[in-house]
């Protein structure tokens, strides 16, 4: 009888062990797939992304990285946020890319990076965080990290501007120190150093969008419309003004169809050039850093010291102001950079962007 009891106890014990193992296995299966995957390696080469004609694509680059997992190509664009130092040859960097992004079957593998970390940080986590009412905190979508925001925590957009909006549902980069050993890990009161709110891609807004929803969407920075809306003109969610050599000016850009235009007189004079208007020929003359520029309003051809430079879009008269494509100030006027970024028009002589 005692043997039967021992056997029964042993069977019960084995059953409990099997149940526990099965429960753990089930939890492993239910574990949420991380929103972002990462690759770490040393930078071996940096060069611009070529188009079909071999010309560099403006604002995009490829970084060849070699690490324990072999060679990987980091594709960067305007949406890539670099945390830490500017990437240089020889640096050891970590790139984060969406786990659900389609991957081309080429070698070495190429990933479009949302985040690149270059520098010494105790902990960095990128994920979409949601407000948890029970915990009164933000919890990552993979359930691994809970953010306890303190008074010292810096909350900024990825362009460095302060952010005081709603963090619920946003993709965040959390930079922090020690955490608890709980599940999820919780940042200690003084350990959460910085939260970076990343820009997001959204579709072109429909005409009948609810005003309340528009206010929420307007917090997001629009980079490009969805592929299914490719026949629609690209549009930013908001007009955030113009910046010339880093300083905000009191005039702004306009959008006509898929062209972004800036006022030629106000912009050129802000850059130290002079502008005149010929009423008889309806031509604008700009005396600037590249010499004399003459063009008729409504034309996409601009004569620079007699040599014609053609742009994809013409100049336009809007009201009583002549506007030119923003690239006029790079490709015709001669500035190093002229581009749209996060609903802002930027024209400057900083290091030329690739």
CA gap 302, 306 in Å, rounded: 9
Nearest Cα neighbor of 198 from 167, 236, 238, 176 is 167
pLDDT of residue 9: 45
pLDDT of residue 186: 93
* Whole-number average pLDDT of the chain: 80
Contacts of 271 (CB under 8 A, 6+ apart): 244, 245, 288, 289, 329, 333, 335, 347
Q: What would the pLDDT profile of 39-85 be if each residue is shown by its tens digit?
A: 999 999 998 887 777 777 666 889 999 998 899 999 988 778 999 99
> Tokens representing 51?
């188009």
pLDDT of residue 274: 94
Task: Kindly give the residue spans of alpha helices, DSSP state H, lying in 72-228.
Answer: 211-217
pLDDT of residue 135: 75
Q: What would the pLDDT profile of 91-118 be if each residue is shown by its tens digit?
A: 999 999 988 776 666 788 888 899 999 9
Q: Is the pLDDT of residue 20 over 60?
A: no
pLDDT of residue 7: 42
pLDDT of residue 212: 54
Band (215; pLDDT cuts 50, 70, 90) = very low
Nearest Cα neighbor of 40 from 72, 82, 75, 62 is 72
Give the mean model confidence (pLDDT) for residues 237-256. Answer: 87
Q: Is the pLDDT of residue 203 over 50?
A: no
CA gap 14, 343 in Å, rounded: 63
Contacts of 308 (CB under 8 A, 6+ apart): 301, 302
* Chain length of the chain: 354
In percent, how much of the chain has pLDDT > 70? Answer: 78
The 8-class DSSP code of residue 266 comes to H
For residue 6, the SS3 value is helix
Any idea which of 43-47, 55-59, 265-269, 314-318 has the lowest mean pLDDT?
55-59
Q: What is the pTM of this model?
A: 0.53
């Amino acid at each position: 009888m005692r043997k039967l009891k021992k056997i029964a106890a042993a069977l019960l014990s084995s059953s409990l062990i099997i149940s526990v193992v099965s429960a753990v296995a089930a939890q492993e299966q239910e574990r949420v797939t991380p929103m972002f995957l990462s690759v770490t390696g040393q930078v071996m080469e940096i060069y611009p992304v070529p188009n079909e004609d071999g010309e560099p694509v403006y604002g995009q680059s490829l970084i060849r990285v070699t690490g324990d997992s072999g060679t990987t190509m980091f594709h960067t664009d305007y949406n890539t946020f670099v945390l830490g130092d500017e990437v240089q040859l020889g640096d050891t960097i970590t790139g984060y890319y969406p786990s659900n992004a389609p991957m081309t079957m080429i070698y070495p593998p190429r990933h479009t990076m949302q985040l690149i970390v270059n520098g010494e940080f105790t902990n960095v986590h990128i994920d979409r965080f949601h407000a948890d009412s029970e915990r009164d905190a933000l919890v990552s979508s993979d359930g691994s990290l809970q953010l306890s925001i303190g008074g010292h925590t810096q909350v900024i957009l990825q362009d460095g501007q302060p952010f005081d909006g709603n963090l619920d549902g946003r993709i965040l980069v959390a930079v922090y120190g020690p955490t608890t050993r709980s599940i999820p890990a919780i940042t200690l009161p003084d350990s959460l150093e910085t939260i970076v709110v990343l820009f997001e891609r959204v579709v072109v807004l429909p005409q009948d969008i609810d005003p309340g929803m528009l206010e929420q969407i307007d917090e997001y920075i629009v980079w490009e419309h969805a592929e299914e809306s490719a026949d629609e003109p690209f549009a930013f969610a908001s007009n955030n003004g113009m910046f010339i050599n880093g300083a905000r000016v009191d005039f702004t850009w306009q959008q006509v169809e898929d062209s972004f235009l800036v006022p030629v007189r106000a912009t050129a004079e802000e850059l130290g050039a002079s502008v005149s208007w010929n009423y008889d020929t309806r031509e604008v003359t700009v005396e600037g850093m590249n010499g004399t520029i003459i063009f008729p309003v409504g034309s996409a051809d601009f004569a620079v010291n007699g040599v014609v430079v053609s742009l994809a879009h013409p100049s336009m008269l809007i009201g009583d102001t002549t506007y030119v494509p923003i690239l006029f100030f790079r490709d015709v006027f001669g500035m190093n950079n002229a581009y749209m970024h996060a609903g802002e028009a930027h024209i400057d002589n900083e290091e030329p962007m690739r």
